Structure 1
């Protein structure tokens, strides 16, 4: 199977009676940020054949994403979800590179894609998993909220996440306050998650409270800190990192 020659690739080997082995290779996993474009890699052995038929499909929903045949892109069977968002270069395809460019990635694009290649040398297929992610672009905020008894508490809020992030509260001493917090993460109509993490503990005006949001596609969590500057309800907010004036 020659797996030792492609440790980062998923190689599936198919044989046809009367033909030699035909290999199609893809990356096992790739990722893309919402709104950007991604290349789903797929290469195959041409053996000199320059007229392949390439079909990209999304597995599970059985949607045709892109078809290339007879040296042309054939979009007659393309699912409407991918209209004007895909590209496959003829020159590359004829040289054994059937990689697909997917533009303006959205949450619904997440899933498994299958690349199938058929030419005079044989037939082969391989799959790639696409992970999609989004990081809140509007920043975090801390608000006052009031419960049914009239008690005020701090609420850490942010939007535009995918997949779900992890949220936590700590004070300036590093104490974990999640036991006295209540978390609510809900999707909006576009599939992005809105986070509200309420600190139900009564605040101490001499303390500082840091809300952190951690996401699997971020190298470091986003933080925001509430500091009481006058001992009353006045809140000063910053990025959650230590500063010299505190």
Structure 2
């Protein structure tokens, strides 16, 4: 056999061993913080019932879940995912490599890679996970004072992700955002806290409505402030029923 035949034989050998097959995912999915989500991944296993499935989070070098030899192998699993992942062995052997992720948190958001290999070949696909949190019950309107001792209304709400949009209107629908000031911070769990101050002298005969909008809400959440006299503030929780 001449040496010129060796490269051809090597190419033929590897083309037989490494065959790409189709792996499919939902590409985009979303989950609420604290809930469970299934990151779907399926493949044509070509009859091989002993696949290796690797789930990884892209960009941060985190092994989320490894399944091989018909069992879960979690020795290299990142600590952020401890006791939060599951992959059904029977389904995996039938071409369903979907991953269940429990107790979703904000830091789970990102792109994931599903890689499947077996004796017949290899394939991979990606899914983007969006995470959201809504805390419409935690909306407060209260009095604050500026440096000169002047009172103003402050709308405050916590426990949101991603960041919400907050606005002020009066009972006639006038936009008061031009005289408002936003302070937005995040806590150690990644949730946004919003403080939206109405830097305008209030009119005791008027009412002031704070609205919070969020991309995962069908409609804004509203609460309003009214006054029994020139200074006594009443927070009314039926802001959604106002005709602005």
TM-score, reference length from structure 1: 0.89
Aligned residue in 1 for 2:15? 17
1:90 paired with 2:89, answer: yes
Sort the Cα spacing of 1:77 and 1:131 in 2 relative to 1 into closer, same or farther, 3 A.
Answer: same
Q: Deviations over 1:18-48 (max 9, x none)?
A: 2655000011110111111100000000121
Q: What is the Cα deviation at residue 227 of structure 1?
A: 1.3
TM-score, reference length from structure 2: 0.90
Unmatched runs of 5 consecutive residues or more in structure 2: 1-13
Unmatched runs of 5 consecutive residues or more in structure 1: 1-15
Q: Report the count of equivalent residues.
A: 229
Aligned residue in 2 for 1:76? 75
Instruction: State the SS of the aligned residue for 2:229.
Output: coil
Instruction: State the SS of the aligned residue for 2:46.
Output: coil
Alpha-carbon distance between aligned partners in 2 of 1:235 and 1:104, rounded to the nearest angstrom:
38
Conserved? CA contact 1:138–1:159, under 8 Å: no
Aligned residue in 2 for 1:34? 33
Instruction: State the SS of the aligned residue for 2:80.
Output: helix
Q: Deviations over 1:109-155 (max 9, x none)?
A: 11100000001221000010001111115420100001111110000
Q: What is the Cα deviation at residue 238 of structure 1?
A: 2.0
Alpha-carbon distance between aligned partners in 1 of 2:216 and 2:240, rounded to the nearest angstrom:
20
Instruction: State the SS of the aligned residue for 1:97.
Output: coil
Aligned residue in 1 for 2:44? 45
1:180 paired with 2:179, answer: yes
Q: What is the Cα deviation at residue 160 of structure 1?
A: 0.4
Q: What is the Cα deviation at residue 93 of structure 1?
A: 0.1
Alpha-carbon distance between aligned partners in 1 of 2:129 and 2:137, rounded to the nearest angstrom:
25
Conserved? CA contact 1:155–1:197, under 8 Å: yes
Alpha-carbon distance between aligned partners in 2 of 1:20 and 1:190, rounded to the nearest angstrom:
43
Aligned residue in 1 for 2:153? 154
Q: CA RMSD in A?
A: 1.5
